Amino acid sequence: MPLSSVLQRFSNWFGNRADKPVDVLPVRVGGTEYRATARPVQMLGLDQALVWVVVALLAWGLVMVYSASIAMPDNPRFGKIEPYHFVLRHVIALGVGFVGALLAFQISMKTWERMARKLFILSVLLLFAVLVPHVGVVVNGARRWISLGIMNFQPSELAKFAVLVYAADYMVRRMDVKERFFRAVLPMAAAVLACGVLLLAEPDMGAFMVIVVISMGILFLGGVNARMFFLMAGLVVGAFVIMIAFSDWRRERIFAYLDPWDMKHALGKGYQLSHALIAIGRGELFGVGLGRSVEKLHWLPEAHTDFLLSVIGEEFGLVGLLLLIVAFVWLTRRIMEIGRQAIALDRVFSGLVAQGVAIWIGFQAFINMGVNLGALPTKGLTLPLMSFGGSAVLMNLIAIAVVLRIDYENKVLMPQSRGAVK
C-alpha cells in the first residue's frame, strides 16, 4: 500500500473528529495575512515531510546513541552492564514517546487550551516533588529525576512544554492588555520565576534558560509592546550574568570556555570541551566512519547525551554536521510556518503553541551545537530528538504530535480541505 494511503488512513482514524473552529481574537504576523490558496491541500493528513525529517533524526540518534555508548560497559563507573544497555533504554523511551505522541495527536487544541493552567500547576508540583528526599533521584550531584521503574522522568522537560502551552493560553486571555506592559507581563513573569526558583534548586540552569526563552518568545510573538519587551530581555540577560558572577563553579565554566587548553582548566571544567573539539577535529571533512570514534572510548564524558554531536562530527565529519544543522533549521522553519498558518486562520492559541515548539527545539539545538563546537560555554542541554534521555525524547515527540495536530486542524479550516471532509 502506498505511504500516502497509509498516512491518509492514520490521519482519518485519529483526526476526523476535530473540534469545530472557535472564534478568537484576530492576530496577524507582520501585518500580512496568510493566503490559504497559496498552498493547495490535496488531502487531509499528516505533514509527510515533517514526519520523515523527525523519523530520520530519531533513527540517526538511535544509531549514534548505540555507537557512543557501546564502550561504556568497560567503565567501572557503570558497573556490570551489557553493551546494549543504553540503546535498549533509548528504544524503550522511543516506544513510550510514540505512544505518548499518538495520544497527544488525538487531543484537540481546544482541549489543550482548557488544560493549560492545570498542566502548568502539575509541572510546578512535580518540580517541587523532585526536591523531596527519597523522591528525587540524584545523578552527578543534581536532583532532577523521578524514578518510574522502566525509566527516570525529568520534570523540567514537562515544564518546558507546560510553560509553552500556558504562555500561549495566557496571551490569548490577556490580549486586551498587551500594550500595557506590566499588566500583561508581570503575572507571566511570576509564573516563570516560580519554575526558575525550583529549577535552580536542582540545579538545572539550562532548563531554566530554555523556559525563559520560550516564554519571552511567545510574549513577543503574541504582540507585547516591543520597546518594553527588549528592556525586559536586557534585565533577564543581566540576571543570568549576576547568577554566573556569584557562582564559583559557573564562573569557572566561563573561564574554562574562554581557554579550555590552559593547564588549569584542561583536566577540570574545560575537559569536556577540549575533548569535544578534538573529536570534531578528528572527523575532518567526511569523518572517520561510523563506529570508529576514539573519543567515545572513555575520553569524552557524556558522549551519548550532551556531547552526542561531537561523536557525530568525529564519525561523519563536517558533511554530517552540516546535514544535521540543515535538518534542524528546516524543522524549526516548518514548525514556525505551521504556527503562522494557524494565526492567519484566527487560531491564535494554536499558532503560538506551534511557534513556541519551534523556539524550544530551535533554541535548544542551537545551544547544544554551540557548546559542542566551542562557540558557547558548556551547558547541560541535550540535542533534541537525538540524545539519550527518556523524558526529553518523550516530551519532544509529544510536542511534535501537537504541531501535527495543529497542522491537521489548519487543513480542516482551509477552503480546499472542507470539501474533502464532507
Q: Per residue of the chain (422 residues), give pLDDT as tens.
A: 554 554 454 445 444 444 444 333 334 444 334 444 434 444 457 889 999 999 999 999 999 999 998 888 777 666 677 778 889 999 999 999 999 999 999 999 999 999 999 999 999 999 999 888 888 777 766 788 888 877 788 899 999 999 999 999 988 887 665 556 666 677 888 888 888 888 888 888 888 889 999 988 888 888 776 677 777 778 778 887 887 777 777 777 787 777 777 777 667 777 888 889 999 999 999 999 998 999 988 888 888 888 999 999 999 999 999 999 999 999 999 999 999 999 999 999 999 999 999 999 999 999 999 999 988 888 878 999 999 988 899 999 999 999 999 999 999 887 654 444 43
CB distance 338 to 403 below 8 Å: yes
Count of Cβ atoms closer than 10 Å to residue 114 Cβ: 12
pLDDT of residue 393: 94
Fill in the amino acid letter for 41: V
CB-based burial label for 258 (10 Å; 0-12, 13-18, 19+): exposed
Nearest C-alpha neighbor of 68 from the set 54, 87, 81: 87
CA 227 to chain centre: 28
**Beta partners for 32?**
29
317-324: list long-range contacts, CB under 8 Å, 24+ apart. Answer: 317/283, 317/284, 317/285, 317/286, 317/287, 317/288, 318/283, 318/284, 318/285, 318/286, 319/285, 319/286, 319/287, 320/283, 320/287, 321/280, 321/283, 324/60
CB proximity list for 87: less than 8 A, separation 6 or greater: 62, 65, 66, 69
pTM: 0.83
pLDDT of residue 174: 74
Torsion of CA 134, 140, 143, 146, to 10 degrees: -60
Enter the C-alpha cell of residue 260.
579550555
Q: Roughly how many angstroms between the first and final C-alpha of the chain, as a whole number?
A: 25
Q: 298 — alpha (psi -120 to 50), left (phi > 0) or beta?
A: left
CB distance 151 to 390 below 8 Å: yes
CB distance 164 to 221 below 8 Å: no
Q: Which residues of 179-202 are buried (b: 16+ CB within 10 A; e: fewer)?
A: eebeebbeebbebbeebbebbeeb
CB proximity list for 89: less than 8 A, separation 6 or greater: 151, 388, 390
pLDDT of residue 415: 63
Q: Report the residue count for the chain.
A: 422
pLDDT of residue 403: 96
pLDDT of residue 342: 94
φ, ψ (nearest 5 deg) of residue 137:
-95, 130
